[in-house]
Amino acid sequence: MKKKICIIILSIVIVCSLLSGCGDKHTAIIMKNAKDFTLTQEISESFKLENYGIQSYAFLKYIQENLPGRIAGTEKEKEMASFISAILLNGGYSEKDIKLNSFDIEEGVPMMDTSGENIFDGGEDSQSSQNIEVIKEGQSKKTIIVGAHYDSAGTHGVDDNGSGVAVALESALRMIDVETPYTIKYVFFGAEETGMHGSKEYVNSLTKKEKDNIVLMINIDSIIILY
């Protein structure tokens, strides 16, 4: 009887390890790619400039030219996750400051109509996505959350929501050495266009204490004007 119980327990442990291992594998690859990422000259130069908006523009231009079709769960979405992590690393945050939390998603259709022109498939679908969180510690545990989703609906996704990501990234870099009364958590959500999976996953991951400490949440989405 004891032998059977041990076998059952061992089987459960193995299955759980296998299930969690896929997510760990994806996040490990994303972080490795982030550490190996080579900044463009324009992005590198933007780090040296004090004018507001220069960094955001450089980030957004890179997204436009290199990261179209960031459909939830696809290769392009994961490339975007590596890009975000790379900017944070190069901007002064350490690897331990950045949390990559992977979660499973079912294959879904982006919320917006993808019947127009300039539609991209995003590459191979892993049916998993990830949230990226970076914490800027404040004088208290009271927390302001600044969020932006980084997947797109099969288009270039510059307005929705490369614009929000770019501004959130610049804000995170500018606030890194600023003394603040509250802690600021910058959260980049994956898999939003297919049903707000990233934000739901993030909320469900919070403890009651963490929820009680939240002062407000600022969501940055679709903030540029297209002519």
Mean pLDDT on 15-19: 35
Please state, in angstroms and rounded to a whole number, the distance separating the CA atoms of residues 13 and 50: 52
Q: Which of 78, 85, 87, 86 is nearest to 99 (CA)?
A: 85
pLDDT at 39 over 60: yes
Quickly state the pLDDT bin for 113 (edges 50, 70, 90).
low
For 28, 47, 151, 176, 208, the CA distances from 32, given in Å and listed in that order, are 6, 22, 20, 22, 32
CA distance 88 to 158: 20
Would you say 137 and 183 are in contact if contact means Cβ atoms under 8 Å apart?
A: yes
If one compares 19 and 80, the residue with the highest pLDDT of the two is: 80
The yes-or-no verdict on residue 14 having pLDDT over 70 is: no
pLDDT category at 24 given cuts 50, 70, 90 is confident
Q: What DSSP string describes 7-31?
A: HHHHHHHHHHHHHHHHHHHHHHHHH
- Of 48, 28, 36, 42, the C-alpha closest to 98 is 28
Q: How far apart are CA 141 and CA 156, in angstroms?
A: 37
Within a 10 A sphere around the Cβ of 89, how many other Cβ atoms?
Answer: 18
Q: Distances in Å between the alpha carbon of 93 and those of 32, 97, 177, 189?
A: 15, 6, 10, 18
Owner of token pair 């996750």: 81
Say which range, 9-18, 68-77, 134-143, 195-204, has the weakest mean pLDDT: 9-18
Q: How far from 16 is each of 20, 23, 197, 199, CA to CA, in Å?
A: 6, 12, 22, 24
Whole-angstrom CA distances from 56 to 131, 189, 211 are 20, 18, 30
Task: Please tell me the predicted confidence (pLDDT) of residue 116.
Answer: 61
87-92-95-100 Cα dihedral, nearest 10 degrees: -40
Pairing of strands 183-189, 128-136: antiparallel
| Residue with the larger pLDDT of the pair 186 and 110 | 186
Q: Note the pLDDT of residue 15.
A: 32
Containing 200, the helix (H) or strand (E) segment is helix 197-205
Q: Is the pLDDT of residue 160 over 70?
A: yes
Q: What is the percent of the chain with per-residue pLDDT over 70, rounded to a whole number?
A: 83
* 12 confidence band (pLDDT: 50, 70, 90): very low
pLDDT at 10: 34
* Single pTM value for the model: 0.88
